[in-house]
Structure 1
Amino acid sequence: MSRPSIQDSFDAYLDELAPKLGHADRVPSFKDYCYGLMLPLSRKSIEPIAASVDPENVQARHQALHHLVAKATWSDLALLTGVAQWVLPHLLPGTTPFWIIDDTSFRKKGRHSVGVSRQYCGEIGKQDNCQVAVSLSVATERASLPVAWRLYVPRSWTDDPARCRRAGIPVDVAFATKPDIALQQVRETLDAGIKPGIVLADAAYGKVTAWRAQLAEWGLSYCVGVHEDLSVWAPETEPLPPHWSGRGRPPTRWQQTAEHHPVSAAALAHALESANYQVITWREGTNQSLTSRFAAVRVRVARGMQRREPEWLLIEWPESADKPAKYWLSNLPEDTSLTTLVKVAKARWRIERDYQELKQEFGLDHYEGRNWRGFHHHASLCIAAYGFLVAERLRRRDQKKILRFPMPTLPASYRPRGGTEGPASCE
């Protein structure tokens, strides 16, 4: 018996997800949009998709797709949960997953697109006018899948209710830092019953002590980036117990003195002997093995006058460098090997593949609208199409290339709206 074609499998996948849209009349547009995201289009915004799926009725199809993406009130969380329910059974069996937290940026002109602001833009590594979204991906060594997605809204927006109202930002959306958004996503992912994973994040998240503490309170393991100025108690040292004179209320604050005090992560890294560092290979890269020099020591974070539990401080110091390159903090068990710590810390690279494929192959950054609902709906639909690709790669071990459906033939009379080339005007 021959296995179903890719398009038959995609149709079955969309049928499974369709109830998440809430109303049956949204389903045709949902399928059209996802199908369009699977086509080899140079631009995956509403107008090119409408022209590709229904070239004889572009205007009507455009209106239907625009309603689905920019106006219809279906739940992004429900759709992403449905995608996860389809994909994760192929991804998770027999392994401990990673929960990778990160953010990605979208360069934008003007000031009207929801959440746009002059802020750090990871795409170019400096300040620029852009939007930023926070995501949580479930990953293993084989693949990864975003399961949560939300726009970061700067204070320049949340402090301006009229501006938020024009962009359709819900009234209950208050200012939240990126770590705050990430914690909400972690909580929602736990509540959805998804198998817990080791949380990975860069120093923008890992540097926040309360953020790490909340993960630990929820029973989650983590291995997160920290900065070189992180204050720690070196191995075999710890804060002095509270001293009580016998009078008054017994003190609870742990002590330090001029001779007995914590040090920075950088100072500790420099104080270690060369024998503490080992060369570790953590993955086979495209052209060569990925190798560097690492050390791991048990430390206590020195934040406030509290005695905290020991954790791993992982240090990467390439042999050719004059100082350490990166630091991580992890609450993984004391018997965790250095090789395991390194492989866990370095597993965060998969999030870059998510973003690369979602942008380059599925048009994540092609949405031309300005409102909150459209921004999130477009991203959810892109993740739905990407989820199918992930599942097919896992099911069909021989499937390595990006799946593409054949491009339909457009009539000779077809012209893009607004001109003979380029995308349509703002949706």
Structure 2
Amino acid sequence: MLAGVLGCFAGRFGRVEPRRAATAFVTGLLSDLEVKTCWQLAEQAGHARPDAIQRLLYRAVWDADAVRDDLRQLITDRFGGPDAVLVVDETGDLKKGQHSVGVQRQYSGTAGRIENSQVGVFLGYAGASGHTLIDRRVYLPASWTDDRDRCQAAGVPDEIGFATKSQLAADMITAAIDAGVPAGWAAADEAYGNSAVFRAHLRGHGLGYVLAVSCSHLIPLDGGKTRVRADRVAAELPASAWQRRSAGAGSKGPRFYDWAWLDDVCTDADPDDGGRHSLLVRRNATTGELAFYRCWTPQPAALAQFVRVAGIRWTVETSFQAAKSQVGLDQHQVRRWDSWHRFTTLALAALAVLAICAADAAHHDPADTGLIKLTVNEVRRLINACIIRPISDLTHRLHWSG
């Protein structure tokens, strides 16, 4: 699978040197290195200097978006299906200094507070047999796009202007649909679900959606004549409105919640969209905590379908966790626009190796043996134990320690 993933985009390199460097780079990301910077990856690959690995990110001639396209095709060929879900979310990387592209003091979900950080918006793909990340965009705050000298110093193309995170997410979804990615649904958290423009964008593509919204989100009732807070709508629901259903398997078994579904509400959208609008409410059976979702489908759908998609949204969180803990997604030490996209794309390639291997292991597993299914963490451990042969020559190690 490692060879297959690397081979899917090998033709994007016009010279053998950057192609070999990319192979070493992705293999190094899969290795058991604690820190995965250019220096560590070069040492792992057996290079005498970090030049080849650094050149791959900074000066070598190759198109990271074209490599992304090849990866996306490989992943959707493996996991694709008409009921697959496109999931968008962002993640932040804590940074020092002011020169890394997109960095500023802003809220970071990683830290849970406002920190000096860099935010990337990602598109995940979840099919019946597996899930992983298939696209990425770096978020440029207005403090960057309003300062063209700063953008030029970081290599940001002149045509790149300010775009909100939901606009970046919409761009990735449009690119996926235009590329023929099979999907029937989209899912996202409330940062995207609260955006009427983002919801309209999904309807324009005919994608059904289950988008989280905030408790204070105003739900249009009676054809938009009345607007009521989502939590107020939930408070007035009778006990008979709730059904207990699983949102999918978790680490400890099925994730059961109570669900209430209000069909044919939220009708303030374009009346000619031809679809069905509804509100979905999830209640934690233990704590009573509520979550709210605005839903739309081009055709009538059952409650079970909305619950499934709501549960799948969490796959992007597990992909982030795996990408950071297993392949160093957040360990890049790059400042420029191209370098960020190149590092991130190669990290997605390494993540794809793990995700596809784990899915293949689950698919080929015989009848229930009572053993835990292979995870991406265990797949990476096996790759290091059975495939990657680290350089152990003492002279080489002392050279890098000098």
Q: TM (normalized to structure 1)?
A: 0.83
Residues 261 and 303 in structure 2, CA contact (< 8 A), matched pair in contact too: yes
1:27 aligns to 2:19 (yes or no): yes
Q: What corresponds to 1:264 in structure 2?
A: 229
Instruction: Give distance in 2, aligned partners of 1:199 and 1:22.
Output: 36
Q: What corresponds to 1:159 in structure 2?
A: 146
> Shift of residue 393 of structure 1?
2.5
Map of 1:210-359 to 2, 5 A cutoff?
210-234=197-221, 237-239=222-224, 256=225, 261-301=226-266, 310-321=276-287, 324-332=289-297, 335-359=300-324
Instruction: Give distance in 2, aligned partners of 1:295 and 1:394.
Output: 32
Residues 58 and 339 in structure 2, CA contact (< 8 A), matched pair in contact too: yes
Q: What corresponds to 2:38 in structure 1?
A: 46
Out of 361, 365, 384, the residue aligned to residue 330 of structure 2 is 365
Residues 238 and 307 in structure 1, CA contact (< 8 A), matched pair in contact too: no
Amino acid at match of 1:283: G
Could you list the per-position Cα deviations for residues 310-336 of structure 1 after superposition, in whole angstroms to 9, with x for gaps in the alignment? 5110011234446x5210011136743
Instruction: Give distance in 1, aligned partners of 2:147 and 2:283.
Output: 45
Q: Secondary structure at the match of 1:150?
A: strand
Instruction: Give distance in 2, aligned partners of 1:146 and 1:64.
Output: 27
Instruction: Give distance in 2, aligned partners of 1:306 and 1:85.
Output: 35
Instruction: Give distance in 2, aligned partners of 1:262 and 1:35.
Output: 54
Q: Of Structure 1 and Structure 2, which has the larger fraction of its residues in helix?
A: 2
Change (3 A) 1:410 1:210: same
1:16 aligns to 2:15 (yes or no): no
Root mean square deviation, CA, Å: 2.4
Q: Which structure has the bigger radius of gyration?
A: 1
> Shift of residue 307 of structure 1?
9.2
Amino acid at match of 1:267: R
Map of 1:129-140 to 2, 5 A cutoff?
129-140=116-127
Q: TM (normalized to structure 2)?
A: 0.88
Q: What corresponds to 2:370 in structure 1?
A: none
> Shift of residue 298 of structure 1?
2.1
Change (3 A) 1:157 1:16: same
Out of 383, 392, 406, the residue aligned to residue 357 of structure 2 is 392
Instruction: Give distance in 2, aligned partners of 1:34 and 1:87.
Output: 16
Amino acid at match of 1:143: G
Q: What corresponds to 2:391 in structure 1?
A: 409
Change (3 A) 1:269 1:411: same
Give aligned pairs, total.
Answer: 383
Amino acid at match of 2:175: E
Amino acid at match of 1:99: L
1:58 aligns to 2:45 (yes or no): no
Q: Secondary structure at the match of 1:263?
A: strand
Q: What corresponds to 2:73 in structure 1?
A: 85
> Shift of residue 70 of structure 1?
2.1
Change (3 A) 1:25 1:327: same
Instruction: Give distance in 1, aligned partners of 2:299 and 2:8.
Output: 44
> Shift of residue 72 of structure 1?
2.6
Instruction: Give distance in 2, aligned partners of 1:355 and 1:199.
Output: 18
Amino acid at match of 2:36: K
Change (3 A) 1:191 1:73: farther
Out of 130, 135, 147, the residue aligned to residue 143 of structure 1 is 130
Amino acid at match of 1:63: D
> Shift of residue 293 of structure 1?
1.4
Q: Secondary structure at the match of 1:315?
A: strand
Q: 388-397 vs 376-385, which deviates more?
A: 388-397
Identity %: 26
Amino acid at match of 2:246: T
1:170 aligns to 2:157 (yes or no): yes
Could you list the per-position Cα deviations for residues 278-322 of structure 1 after superposition, in whole angstroms to 9, with x for gaps in the alignment? 222222322243112110102443659989865110011234446
> Shift of residue 198 of structure 1?
0.5
> Shift of residue 160 of structure 1?
1.0
Could you list the per-position Cα deviations for residues 88-115 of structure 1 after superposition, in whole angstroms to 9, with x for gaps in the alignment? 222125x510001111110111111111
Change (3 A) 1:13 1:229: closer
Residues 229 and 266 in structure 1, CA contact (< 8 A), matched pair in contact too: yes
> Shift of residue 141 of structure 1?
4.0
Residues 89 and 123 in structure 2, CA contact (< 8 A), matched pair in contact too: yes
Residues 231 and 303 in structure 1, CA contact (< 8 A), matched pair in contact too: no
Q: Secondary structure at the match of 2:107?
A: strand
Instruction: Give distance in 2, aligned partners of 1:304 and 1:286.
Output: 38
Q: 24-33 vs 305-314, which deviates more?
A: 305-314
Q: Secondary structure at the match of 1:396?
A: helix
> Shift of residue 26 of structure 1?
1.7
Amino acid at match of 1:262: R
Residues 97 and 138 in structure 1, CA contact (< 8 A), matched pair in contact too: yes
Change (3 A) 1:114 1:168: same
Q: What corresponds to 1:103 in structure 2?
A: 90
Q: Secondary structure at the match of 2:394?
A: coil
